[in-house]
């Protein structure tokens, strides 16, 4: 599997709103960093973090606007959408994914405005 396919498949899987399924896309020692907050390491910590917004969403989507690949790194410009507690949230996100030789995500960094997210949650 190539890095682009890995990332596209991951972004498409978000629509199923199941962190337990998404975690299968990661290496055991993966790092997930939402840049506004501290990074988390390892599948268990990543799943717990994802569950905080993926599992509680009644629907979710990572719409990829642009995607670029350089070797094993995939850059995505996205609009991430969630419906949480009846509130529709949409935030622009720039994401960087590093994909290991086995086709699993070894690092994921998302850059976004946390205040924009929190205002919509409020």
Active-site positions read 80, 110
**35 burial via Cβ count (<10 Å: 0-12, 13-18, 19+):** middle
Q: Contact at 8 Å (CB) between 103 and 26?
A: no
CB hemisphere CA count around 76 (13 angstroms): 26
CA atoms of 63 and 16, how far apart (whole Å): 14
Encode burial over 59-95: b for 16+ CB neighbours within 10 A, e otherwise.
ebbbebeebeeeeeebebebebbbebeeeebebebeb
Residue 91 tokens read as 């935030």
């Amino acid at each position: 599997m190539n890095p682009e396919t890995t990332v596209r498949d991951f972004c498409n899987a978000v629509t199923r709103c199941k962190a337990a399924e998404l975690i299968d896309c990661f290496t055991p020692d993966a790092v997930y960093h939402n840049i506004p907050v501290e990074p988390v390491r390892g599948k268990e910590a990543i799943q717990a973090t994802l569950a905080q917004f993926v599992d509680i969403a009644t629907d979710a989507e990572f719409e990829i606007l642009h995607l670029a690949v350089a070797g094993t790194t995939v850059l995505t410009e996205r609009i991430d959408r969630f419906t949480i507690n009846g509130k529709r949230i949409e935030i622009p996100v720039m994401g960087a994914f590093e994909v290991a030789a086995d086709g699993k995500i070894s690092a994921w960094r998302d850059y976004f405005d946390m205040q924009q997210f929190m205002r919509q949650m409020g």
